[in-house]
Amino acid sequence: MADRITSPFGPYTDARDVVAGQDLSGKVAIVTGGATGIGIETARALAEAGAEVVIAARKPDLAEAAVADIRKTAKTEVGWSMLDLSSLASVRAFAGRWGGRPLNLLINNAGVMACPLAYTEDGLEMQIGTNHFGHFLLSVLLAPNLVAGAKSGWGSRLVSLSSIGHRRSAMNFDDPHFRHRPYDKWEAYGQAKTANALFAVGFDRRFKDRDVRAFAVMPGGIMTPLQRHLPLEEQKAMGWIDDDGKVRDGFKTPAQGASTSVWAAVGAELDGTGGLYLEDLAQAVPWSKEHPWAGVMPYALDPEAAERLWALSVTTTGADAA
């Protein structure tokens, strides 16, 4: 990849360092799942650089605590608004409250990982229903706002949080909701994270000519509330923590895990590009057996699969963006 895009930062750069020296005054950002984990650190870094940040979250107590914490160092307003991505009605209500206000950055950070089989109120498998379909509807409803934000002369960006977990499964278009096949929580997670990457491809294709670009991000391994469904014994068996509870080498802090999202949102090196899968503050290399914990599978960037997923998402949510 001779033309691979990189940044001046390393894999363990703090998110605040990515925006150091940048002035985001007048820019408006939404961070889904911004009350905890890498979401709150993404919101904090953007707010400290001057962007107005709105945290989209489903737990008022956590959202209010996050806003109070970020306001201590923010340069402008920080707020929050209710959003439950497992409810398409909640997504529509959020977008309705937002109205016609211009938007510069949409960070689709929230997610659920490896949960037991469950379905959303709309009958969608919980992981792909929350991680992809909820974010798809939100992004399509807010696409006009991103286009309006781009008219300020500072191109808008959408950041879709994927994961190296995407390697566990391509999209299963025949049965995406596990209605006719045995449920495997990691296969379901992998499919959802593939969908997050494919969505960036499809969204970027549709909006790049209106100065709105989209990127998929692999944040790295980070201990956050995302692991809420994983027993400690399973995390030990996977080698994430040792018998003494110590996190293995290579894991990032939440602030380090947020850095690639922040770079995807503001990095000048990415100007004029889009539809890319980023990790460790650089464009990802192709996945290989020699380096199984890094890189991107070709099916996660396949334009035909991205179009097929877009069509499925339109049918599922009833929303589309030309």
Domain chopping of the chain, boundaries: 15-316
Supply the pLDDT for residue 320: 78
pLDDT band for position 250 (50/70/90)?
A: low
pLDDT band for position 236 (50/70/90)?
A: very low
Supply the pLDDT for residue 314: 97
Given a cut of 80, is residue 38 above it in pLDDT?
yes
Report helix angle 88-98 to 135-150, nearest 10.
20
**What are the tens digits of pLDDT across the range 161-192?**
999 999 999 999 999 999 999 999 999 999 99
Other C-beta atoms closer than 10 Å to the C-beta of 70 total 24
Given a cut of 50, is residue 306 above it in pLDDT?
yes
Share of the chain above pLDDT 70, in %: 90
Average pLDDT, the chain: 92
Taking Cα atoms as reference points, which of 126, 32, 30 lies closest to residue 86?
Answer: 126
pLDDT band for position 280 (50/70/90)?
A: very high
Given a cut of 70, is residue 156 above it in pLDDT?
yes
- Would you give the DSSP letter of residue 180? S
Return the H-helix or E-strand segment holding 212.
strand 212-218
Residues marked active site are found at: 189
- Residues 322 and 206 sit within 8 Å (Cβ to Cβ): yes
User: May I ask the CATH architecture of the domain 15-316?
Assistant: 3-Layer(aba) Sandwich (3.40)
Supply the pLDDT for residue 225: 47
Given a cut of 80, is residue 231 above it in pLDDT?
no
